[in-house]
């Protein structure tokens, strides 16, 4: 493999469907890609990830950090000479951060309701009671319909 091997002899790969989807989104529809080319792209992608990971590890160690952050990724890409891609990478990173903010807002919906956990549980139990009552009403009316049909047939 390369100087960046895992050392454990693990077989590293990327999902074929994911690689194919990425390639398909980038290439024009009228362009086909051979199996060999797709495999080469997969191998090169793995190699890139290994090199980037090694660089990230070095940066984290220098900064005595145990968690690699997005800033480390940008710094590693700069150190590896990928300056031309930094603008688009920063744009994608900003979009990702905005997406995360939206998810946090959804997760905080119940926290922002102003109700305590106990009050929320009471509301939930009340909804369950109403649902059970509705279900029981429907099942008893259906039983009555069945009994009516049986009487009519006799």
The answer on 20 and 57 residing in a single domain is yes
> Which pLDDT band holds residue 12 (cuts at 50, 70, 90)?
confident
Phi-psi map region of 2: left, alpha, beta (phi>0 left; psi -120 to 50 alpha)? beta
Are 18 and 61 in the same domain? yes
Residue 58 pLDDT grade (very low, low, confident, very high; cuts 50, 70, 90)? very high
Distances (CA, A) of 154 to 26, 100, 141, 149: 71, 65, 20, 9
Last-in-domain residue among 86, 101, 128: 86
pTM over 0.85: no
Are residue 131 and residue 72 in the same domain, yes or no?
A: no
Phi-psi region for residue 114, left (φ > 0), alpha (ψ -120 to 50) or beta? left
* Domain membership flag for residue 33: yes
Give the confidence band of 1 by pLDDT, cuts at 50, 70, 90: very low
Q: Which domain holds residue 7?
A: 1-86
Average pLDDT, integer, range 26-31: 92
pLDDT given at position 132: 80
Mean pLDDT of the residues in the chain:
82
CA 40 centroid distance within chain: 26
**Cα angle 90, 92, 95; round to 5:** 110
**CATH label of the domain that carries residue 27:** 1.10.20.10
Where a domain ends, among 68, 86, 104? 86
143 with 75, same domain: the answer is no
pLDDT at 80 over 90: yes
Calculate mean pLDDT across residues 66-74.
92
């Amino acid at each position: 493999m390369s100087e960046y091997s895992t050392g454990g002899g693990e077989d590293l790969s990327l999902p074929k469907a994911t690689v194919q989807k990425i390639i398909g989104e980038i290439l024009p529809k009228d362009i086909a890609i051979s199996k060999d080319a797709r495999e080469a792209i997969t191998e090169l992608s793995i190699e890139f990830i290994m090199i980037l990971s090694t660089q990230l590890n070095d940066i984290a160690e220098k900064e005595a950090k145990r968690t690699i952050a997005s800033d480390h990724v940008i710094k590693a890409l700069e150190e590896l000479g990928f300056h031309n891609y930094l603008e688009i990478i920063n744009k994608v990173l900003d979009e990702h951060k905005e997406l995360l903010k939206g998810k946090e807002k959804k997760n905080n919906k119940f926290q922002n309701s102003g109700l305590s956990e106990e009050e929320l549980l009471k509301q939930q139990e009340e909804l369950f009671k109403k649902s059970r009552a509705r279900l029981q009403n429907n099942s008893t009316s259906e039983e009555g319909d069945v009994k009516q049909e049986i009487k009519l047939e006799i």
